[in-house]
A and B are shown apart, each in its own frame.
Chain A
Amino acid sequence: GQQVMQIPQYQHVQEGEDFTTYCNSSTTLSNIQWYKQRPGGHPVFLIQLVKSGEVKKQKRLTFQFGEAKKNSSLHITATQTTDVGTYFCAGSQQAGTALIFGKGTTLSVSS
């Protein structure tokens, strides 16, 4: 079945450093979504990417969808302590079908 893999599993950075997490799917995706989960909280939707090669930005966050629609990345510029949490990618093979989540990348930031 469809698998979504994320690396790294954990990342620790100093405040102000950049951070990137990568997501790879075993199959071509219809779309990919990113979520953030703060410690003790629930996942919160960040963004959806649909088009091949798509790049979207949200302030210091940059999201990319690969040309083959099988991989994606989230890059955070100049991390802040508020960026702490676990970032999940999630994809579906067909629009409207249930999302399959990656295992997440847990980001810790020290000031």
Chain B
Amino acid sequence: NAGVTQTPKFRVLKTGQSMTLLCAQDMNHEYMYWYRQDPGMGLRLIHYSVGEGTTAKGEVPDGYNVSRLKKQNFLLGLESAAPSQTSVYFCACRVNYGYTFGSGTRLTVV
């Protein structure tokens, strides 16, 4: 997954706290995505971006906000974390036609 870096790798939040997950890519790609992965649920699209300054909602956008101020970075924000947002979050870039994923952020909300 060289080229797609996610930070942090692990995080524990208390209900109601806020945080931002960072996805950085060094491949100059336009398309970036945020997915969440839960046991038995596969990968579900939260938000995505087709270029700098643009964002769009995916399948499960509620409770999340995103920003793409710079082409290299795609930020995922949780304004008021809830236990239902406990998940593994993956960022991805579209490289040609396939997606390259980051190594993920494991978030626990207690």
Contact = CB atoms under 8 A, between A and B. Distances in A.
Given A98-B33, A101-B35, A45 B45 contact: no
A42 interface: yes
B42 A45 contact: no
B10 interface: no
Interface string A64-107: 00000000000000000000000010100000101111111000
Interface in B69-110: 90, 92, 97-104
B8 to A, nearest CB: 15
B24 to A, nearest CB: 15
Given A31-B97, A99-B99, A42 B42 contact: no
Interface in A37-57: 41-45, 48
Interface residues of B, number: 24
A43 B58 contact: no
Q: Is the interface of B mostly helix, strand, loop or mixed?
A: strand
Contact of B44 (A41, A42, A45, A101): A101
Contacts of A45: 98-100
B12 interface: no
A31 B98 CA distance: 11
A102 B42 contact: yes
Nearest to B49: A98
B50 to A, nearest CB: 8
Contacts of A41: 103
A100 B59 contact: yes
Interface of A: 1, 6, 9, 31, 33, 35, 41-45, 48, 88, 90, 96, 98-104
Interface of B: 1, 31, 33, 35, 40-45, 48, 56, 58-59, 90, 92, 97-104
